[in-house]
Amino acid sequence: MGSSPATPTRQDRLELLDIICFMDSSHQPEINVEKIIREYIPQVIHLSLATVRDNAPWVCEVHFAYDDDLNLYFRSLTSRRHSTEIAENPKVAGNIVKQHGLNESAVGVYFEGTAHILESKDELRIASECIIERLNADDKILEEAKRDDGHKFYKITVENWYVFGRFGLPHGKKYKLNWKSK
């Protein structure tokens, strides 16, 4: 009698899945990137926000909320570095990632878009409602935003979304969703 083949490891199965999926793109699974994003972002309350001025990048963490159109909202002082950079250059990028351990697979949602400080009453109402509901903020945040030294509301209009990691996706592949055209 011959010996039976060894049972494939998890890594072997992932590598085989990569080979199968990338050999012929017509056989790639259909990925619903929007569904992944909508299911993932409610699980995370902060995002990393990247800005740039004079070819010098900066990244910070902000607590965020979002609306049904996947616009992102946050509050910040206008004196903060990311706020001053947004005033000069509204192009931003970022990610929304849950922390993971050394032996866990990384997953994340990434975005590119433009950010601006909110001034219209309609936009302020939408942003404040989203932030109050999602972050259990006090409704006094609207009054605070009226003060010169108060935290202001910002909106990120996402142009492109990306997902990466173990969302049931092939290993090591990033998927893009052109959002601006939606």
In order of start, what are the domains of the chain with their CATH numbers? 31-178 (2.30.110.10)
Which H or E run contains 125?
Answer: helix 121-135
Please tell me the distance from the alpha carbon of residue 90 to that of residue 173, in angstroms, as a whole number: 28
CA–CA separation, 119 and 105 (whole Å): 41
**Residue % of the chain over a pLDDT of 90:** 62
Q: φ, ψ for residue 29 (rounded to 5)?
A: -65, 150
* Residue whose structure tokens are 């290993």: 171
pLDDT in tens, the chain (182 residues): 555 455 555 554 544 444 334 434 444 556 788 998 999 999 999 999 999 999 999 999 999 999 999 999 999 999 999 999 999 999 999 999 988 888 877 788 999 999 999 999 999 999 999 999 999 999 899 999 999 999 999 999 999 999 987 776 666 677 788 886 44
